[in-house]
Amino acid sequence: MEILLANPRGFCAGVNRAIQIVDRALELFGAPIYVRHEVVHNRHVVDDLRARGAVFVEELDEVPDAATVIFSAHGVPIAVRQHAAARGLSVFDATCPLVTKVHMEVKKYSREGMEMVLIGHAGHPEVEGTMGQVEEGMMYLVSTVADVATLTPRNPEKLAYITQTTLSMDDTAEVIVALRQRFPQIQGPKKDDICYATQNRQDAVKSLAPEVDILLVVGAPNSSNSSRLAELGGRLDTPTYLIEDASQLRRDWFAEVSKIGISAGASAPESLVKGIIEQLQAWGASVPRETAGVEEKVIFSLPLALVQAQSRRQEAGQASGEAV
């Protein structure tokens, strides 16, 4: 059996930054560091950080006074920021800068007195965070072309759309066409707010899936971007499995298979891909081959407050002659 690896796959710049923020906070301030929601949607990442002293909570009520709390990469509603400030909690924000960019668009439209349509999935934390940038009733959520027909904006001439960052490129394009048909004056980004990492991983799966007999997508079921990759593989008629790690592999999937494709969502560590390759090799697969793909060079800097805290710590260490 041959293994072909999708390129790019795995961690994006926003996930790298979010994990580093929790990591640095633990290093600088010690445990416990509270994290609102899974910092990224991956159980292995969360378990590793938990083992080092991170405490994951869903709401700020679960965070004790005077604690340090980190907001997950998916972003938070304004009300959550206000709640944290009112309680005097020390906050580090791991919201991906590309999600923050969408929040800024929302604030701009809101200042211009516009209503908005968010294309996204109900209940997802990024959707809750983006909807929570404006007062209730100012933003409508749609997921499908059919949803567009149900919209009843107050003034169709003052309407804009924004999107979740991790959607299917193809589905979103269709919803945008439907919005533009129904509301010709609707404003929005040139195309959508789907991020570079989501687009690149979907493009990679699009070119890999037709080449292989089976596609494995490493990621969690609650990870939107990973689920979209698995969905895409299935749509391209390639038997596709979304798996969290090697323990979910089943030998009978590979009975009649000669080429295996592997991709990984933006929140899935490469160590999980390695574990899967090792298991497949134990079942007779050859050395994997990286397929060609775009090279990603995006890096996001850490929050200034965290960088400053680290410099102060280094200076204090140097002054006392301690090795840092």
What backbone torsions phi and psi does residue 191 show, to the nearest 5 degrees? Answer: -125, -70
Catalytic hit among 38, 115, 126, 231? 126
C-alpha 245, offset from chain centre? 18
Q: Which stretch binds ligand SF4 (CB under 6 A): 91-99, 134-142, 156-164, 276-284?
A: 91-99
Q: Which of residues 108-167 bind ligand SF4 (CB under 6 A)?
A: 165-166
User: Based on the number of CB atoms within 10 Å of its own CB, is 23 exposed (0-12), middle (13-18) or buried (19 or more)?
Assistant: middle
Binding flag, residue 261, ligand 10E (CB under 6 A) = no
Q: Which stretch binds ligand 10E (CB under 6 A): 145-153, 219-227, 289-297, 299-307?
A: 219-227
Return the residue nearest ligand SF4 (CB atom). Answer: 14
Binding flag, residue 14, ligand SF4 (CB under 6 A) = yes
Single residue of 4, 5, 13, 19 touching ligand SF4 by CB under 6 A: 13
How many residues belong to the chain?
A: 324
CB 49 within 8 A of CB 20: no
Gap between the Cα atoms of 112 and 208, Å rounded: 44
User: Is 267 annotated as a binding-site member?
Assistant: yes
User: Based on the number of CB atoms within 10 Å of its own CB, is 77 exposed (0-12), middle (13-18) or buried (19 or more)?
Assistant: middle
User: Based on the number of CB atoms within 10 Å of its own CB, is 44 exposed (0-12), middle (13-18) or buried (19 or more)?
Assistant: middle
Gap between the Cα atoms of 112 and 213, Å rounded: 51
Q: Which stretch binds ligand 10E (CB under 6 A): 140-148, 236-244, 249-257, 259-267?
A: 259-267
Binding flag, residue 200, ligand SF4 (CB under 6 A) = no
The set of catalytic residues is 126
Interacting residue ranges for ligand SF4, rule: CB under 6 A:
12-15, 73, 96, 98-99, 165-166, 195, 197-198, 225, 266
Residue numbers in the known binding site for isopentenyl diphosphate are 41, 74, 124, 223-225, 267
